[in-house]
Each structure stands twice: as structure tokens, then as C-alpha cells.
Amino acid sequence: MTKNRAGMLRTMICGAALGLAAAASVSTAAQAETGLVRVVFTKAGFIVGVGGGRGILTFRGHHYPFTVSGASFGATIGASTTQLAGRALNMHAPSDIAGTYNAIGAGAAVAGGAGGVQLQNARGVILQLHGVKVGVELSAAVGGVTVTME
């Protein structure tokens, strides 16, 4: 084997090894899965809003119940119940959904309205939820939501 061929072979082997290492690091992120989420959340308030509810995470064919609680501070007045459905992204285990999610949002519902929200917790789980809000509530508030597994 000539010197040039040996150098080319060494370069190809190093390139292949680097490619495998890069693919392994990308596949770790790609192993995250998506769960389905359904939540019913009731909220009431005047300036300070307080709410709570229950939900179900469907992940890997199993159902996991959880509770939701939250508070908001800002321009909030009224009461509403929201039925939300959507996805939980970046899941590795059912317990990943637990934690505190923060959001800044503004919305309004008078006798019924549709809306959506996207929240993220410290574990990187992103909740993409949409649904219908029933009640009379005007809100432009900063709030947080805590999800606790049952």
C-alpha cells in the first residue's frame, strides 16, 4: 500500500468515526417521544386568579392521571372553565410532565371561546394545548401552572 493510500484510508476511518459519534449524539435527542394530554382547568379571580384541575397523559399506550394548579397576577376578572387537549413533546418518561410551567398570556372568553397555549418546564417538556374556554373572564396576566402526578 502506498503512503497516499494509507493516508486516505486513515482519513476515511477518522471521518466515519466522527460521523458515528455525531449520529449517536443526535439520536439521543431523537429518542424523545410525544404524549397526548387532556386537561380540564377551572379558574376564577379578581386581579389575582387561582385555578385548578385534572388531566390525563397518554404515553406509550398507558394513561397517567395528574393534577394541575396555578395562579396568575395581573388584569384578571371573572371565572372560566377550559377544556384543553394537545401534545406533550420531548418526553422520555411519564414523570417528565411533572413540574412548573411558566407562561405570559392574554386572552378573553365570553360565553365560549377557543384558544391555545404553549408551555415549557425545566425538563424541557413542551405542552402544546388548545381548547375551548367557557365562562366570563378577561385576562392579561402573568401566571404559572404546576403539574403533579397522582
Amino acid 15: pLDDT: 47
Q: Which CATH class is domain 33-149?
A: mainly beta
Q: What is the pLDDT of residues 43-59, one digit of tens each?
A: 888 767 788 899 999 99
Q: From CA 147, how far away is CA 52, in angstroms rounded?
A: 10
**DSSP one-letter code for 92:** S
Q: From CA 105, how far away is CA 97, in angstroms rounded?
A: 21
Q: What is the pTM assigned to this prediction? A: 0.70
112 dihedral zone (left: phi>0; alpha: psi -120 to 50; beta): left
Q: What is the pLDDT of residues 77-133, one digit of tens each?
A: 788 888 899 999 999 999 999 999 877 444 444 445 566 778 889 999 999 888 887
| Mean pLDDT, rounded, for 133-144 | 64
